[in-house]
Amino acid sequence: MTKRKIIIDTDPGIDDTYAIIAALSYSGFDVIGITVVAGNVGLEPCVENALGIVNLMDADCLVYPGATGSLMQLDQASGYELKTTVHGERGLGSVTLTPDPSKKSDTHAVDFILETVKAHPGEVEIISLGPMTNLALAIEKDEETMKQVKTIWSMGGGVHRGNRTPVAEFNYWFDPDAVQKTYAIGEDVTFNMIGLDITHQTKLTLDDLFFLKKECGETGRMLSEMAEHYQDMYWQFIKQTGVIIHDLVTVMVAIDPELTDEFDILRGANLQIETEGICKGQTVVQKQATLFADSGLPRNANVYMDIDNIAFKKAFMKLCFPGAYDDYRRYILQEKHG
């Protein structure tokens, strides 16, 4: 089997950790490198977390530090100040992973992305799990090379909801200028938005997290412990038990797009984003091509809207914890075997 060439661009992040572990567990991916951007926490702890995940998974790839803040913050040299506690002080709740410093590259994330795409034009897929600052900087530096990216899978945005504000999802809110620059190549690159509309169709329940803790080894215990902080935040903000692991949805859909129904994908949509004001970070998705066919607006996005939660969770468990998969079906999902 020919492996798909993958770059993961990320800001780990509790849900990023779940997602990266899934991506590194999938035999069909050749994860060429992990590029890091500030977002959930500052760049330095995000890099440390990425190095810890690579070490945990004994992965054969390097970690490439990237942007320290949004495009506007970089322009203003104002730096990045953490203003959310959703992922904890260092990004992984109460969990601290052991980083492997030997896996940290001296090459900047933007240069690594461009060098990799140049070496493999039309083959590289980017799974974007954080703000799009690294991608936008790469486009600013060499747009023609970035147009040779095969596919971008982006966790971000929302058609009908937000989470950082009533209308804006966090990743897109954090750097809307980068989103605008990146979607500008959407007619040349297949661009898949995995936003809040689809991620909110999923949830790991308290039963799921208990099973991870008890039956899925050290990695499962770590993921369950990590999610405890997430669960506290969900209860504090929206009084919900269980957790939505947004970035994991993106990776699982990238692995198997058939987890979603074709009728639940808005293909060839036009996506625009508000970059300032009270609606900063809001994505405006034109769903019907006939409405903008004569407007000159690009068909720059495929927007995924729905997913089967049980199929998603089964796919994750089977991929990452195959030895516990049958017990998960039997005791947590209570599926009857024929």
Q: Is residue 301 one of the residues assigned to a domain?
A: yes
Query: What domain range is 290 assigned to?
Result: 4-202+244-307
Question: Is 63 inside a domain boundary?
Answer: yes
Cα(176)–Cα(123) distance, rounded to whole angstroms?
27
Average confidence score pLDDT of the chain: 92
Q: Is residue 336 part of a domain?
A: no
Mean pLDDT of 312-319: 98
Confidence of residue 50 (pLDDT cuts 50, 70, 90): very high
SS (H, E, C) 211-267: HHHHHCHHHHHHHHHHHHHHHHHHHHHHCCCCECCHHHHHHHHHHCHHHCCHHHEEE
List the catalytic residues: 11, 246
Q: Is residue 268 part of a domain?
A: yes
In a domain, 314, yes or no: no
- CATH number of the domain where residue 95 is located: 3.90.245.10
pTM, 2 dp? 0.95
Residue 87 predicted with pLDDT over 80: no
pLDDT of amino acid 224: 95
Q: What pLDDT sits at residue 259?
A: 96
Q: Is residue 335 part of a domain?
A: no
Domain count, the chain: 1
Does pLDDT of 321 surpass 70?
yes
Dump pLDDT digits (tens) for 57-67: 999 999 999 99
- Tell me the pLDDT tens digit for each residue of 278-306: 999 999 998 865 565 667 789 999 999 99
Q: Is residue 186 part of a domain?
A: yes
- 220: confidence class by pLDDT, cuts 50, 70, 90: very high
